Structure 1
């Protein structure tokens, strides 16, 4: 007979109550969906046909009343949280949720961008230099000719989710095709696939590992933790989460030159938008850099949505920060327990050492493949690990077409 499993120590009644309420509140948000146009495909078609000077987008009705969110946050008893590390993590989450609620209320107004910059930050000179170097040194690829469309990608996603459910029948993940979604994104425990989405076949697995192997895996593991906010995401998790997801693309050998240039282009577009460049100016900047006209539109739409949304600089910044972390001897193991920022790693390590966290229900599928893990092991040994284009050229060259 196996020994009984000892439950982890309790967080404390006040911390548990606050954590539960914050997790529920976070899960009630459709933050990215509510800030993303429902008619981006139509506006893109009109833009490319030359039928408009500046696109005007339509947004869905807010799923959550920001005033209700703010009132709920005001009622929380943060002062009674027992553990100082937990108190700091949950207090930061309250500040983030408050800012997100204010952003939803300020959608498409002049107040939106300053708050979005407070949430996601802007582009530093170092990040600008890295993005510039990527575009200067990483060449273009031929036009892709074998796309995977929404229905087929949905089938691949369902198959991938089934693999995780075979490892653990308690895993809850979903995938669905939606007419009101542009591209592919995760919301809660569901992978949403736009009905017009098309993915390069050679990048289909990379996208699966990015969205399912990272975003959904950490959601499942985090939601199962005693600290439930690890499922919805602790404050500032986006940057590290996106960096981890791009590392997954590297692990499966599908971080293509086009994708790397896209991440760099997003950084420069955020920088231009923050400097008051118009939609058309940002688009022209990318086209002059050799970006395809349609993909340039999508990049600019993502950055200009809702009044100026600088989140897309997080992908390259998060990747660079994790490469530095690895180069300095850091590990990635704890990042699979849930969604949190690299800056909060010491606090999460402390909670883990205190027995306040549990082992992950599942691990990313790519980590079960020795070829993938070898690619990750090479990452910190690149002499240019903080210069991403040099890193790609020196460590995954055999994986690039």
Structure 2
């Protein structure tokens, strides 16, 4: 259980609302409810059509009543919270959950893309230019490393979690292989591995630092705080969280050129979708213009068109870009590890840390101590851009 001290005891009414907001968002479960349940079958059908038929992506039925969830949200008396920092965080989180509910109601309609934009933001000309520059500068390469199965990756993830557990005995080990998810993800602290997935062997360690060392670690750090929203994420946390996870790959030497090209291609694909391109056009553009391998182009395209058009995948490159700017300005990495939060929340989080409402992070990510990590981090603090993350061609 999170520690309770005099600073948090007097804030109990606010923390009760915080706990209820966290419970409501767990029921809404935006991430899982926007994940296709039939991606493997859809790919097989797409192959049979000689890559000419738009795939049908099925989403799971909602497991909650949107009207009841909204009623629960707006019955919370956030207006009575007098602490300024907590009032701001609770109010904006309530509004974000309301937008999540509406977006899920709008799945597979033309309205969904607007909800996605409200949740994740658009893409600027500067970000688009950076993505196009990366795609132009980095040579296209075919994967040469051997692959590992979902089972082997899950075993590696459990081993990684056990490494944390050896240092932090209460660190839980939760890894599930699922047949109803289409991509690797962390959902409320549990690592979900698609049953049909295969992973490049040389991507396993970087992915472990991304998923376990960032997403699971920040979830567990948040779980040690009195503010439950730090487990499910403060409003708009996704951009900073994904940017931090990608930087974990970079700091450990695992952000190879192919991975950078994928992150850039996601931004370009989102831009094409917003400009009216459909699945087949996005799929072809990724292959022909940007030389993205066919299966990778498929994965990028379905992530962009799912539910009616999702802009979420642009947050990876945008998150990295904003973090690089923040590091050059001297932002502390420690505060970003307290839980799942956005760069914009740092002043509020620092205020709560100073007042001992929040405590320093429980877990230190292993990627901070990887060989060369501190040297790379020091270089980032001198002022860099996403182009500087490209360190030359990957070895075969």
If the length of structure 1 is used for normalisation, what is the TM-score? 0.94
1:9 to 7, 10, 22: 7
1:392 aligned residue: 389
Matches within 5 A, 1:58-137: 58-137=58-137
- What corresponds to 1:156 in structure 2? 156
SS at match of 1:42: helix
Any idea what SS the aligned residue of 1:9 has? helix
Closer, same or farther: CA 294–8 of 1 in aligned 2, 3 Å: farther
Name the SS of the counterpart of 2:348 in structure 1: helix
Paired residues of 1:183 and 1:196 also in contact (CA < 8 A): no
| Deviation, structure 1 residue 266 | 0.3
In the aligned structure 2, how far is the partner of 1:265 from the partner of 1:108? Answer: 23
Q: Matched residues in 1 for 2:295 and 2:394: separation?
A: 26
Who is 1:381 aligned against? 382
Is contact 1:14–1:77 with CA below 8 Å preserved after alignment? Answer: no
Q: What's the CA shift for 1:211?
A: 0.6
Please, which moves more after superposition, 356-365 or 46-55?
A: 46-55
Is the contact made by 1:303 and 1:312 (CA closer than 8 Å) also made in structure 2? yes
2:43 aligned partner: 44
1:337-362 CA-partner distances (Å, limit 9, x unpaired): 10111111111111111111112221
What is the deviation of 1:400?
5.9
Contact 1:218 1:339 in 2 (8 A): yes
Aligned residues: 391
Q: Matches of 1:131 and 1:108 in 2, distance apart?
A: 28
- The Cα of 1:210 is off from its aligned counterpart by 0.5
8 Å contact from structure 2 (residues 257, 392) kept in 1: no
Work out whether 1:349 is the aligned partner of 2:350. yes
- 5+ residue gaps in structure 1? none
TM-score (norm 2): 0.95
Is the contact made by 2:158 and 2:173 (CA closer than 8 Å) also made in structure 1? Answer: no
Match of 2:232 in 1: 232
1:317-338, Cα deviation, whole Å (9 max, x unpaired): 0000001111122221111110
Q: What's the offset of the Cα at 1:399?
A: 7.0
How far apart in 2 are the matches of 1:281 and 1:398? 29
- Return the alpha-carbon distance in structure 2 between the equivalents of residues 6 and 93 of structure 1: 23
Distance 2:218 2:382 in 1: 26
Shift of 1:82: 2.2
Question: Aligned-pair distance for 1:181?
Answer: 1.3
Q: Is the 8 A contact 2:335 2:360 kept in 1?
A: no
Q: Which residue of 1 aligns with 2:317?
A: 316
- Conserved? CA contact 2:146–2:201, under 8 Å: yes
Q: Is the 8 A contact 2:139 2:393 kept in 1?
A: no
Number of the residue aligned with 2:147: 147
Q: Helix, strand or coil for the counterpart of 2:226?
A: coil
Q: CA RMSD in A?
A: 1.7
Q: What is the match of residue 174 of structure 1?
A: 174
Structure 2 gap segments, 5+ residues each:
none
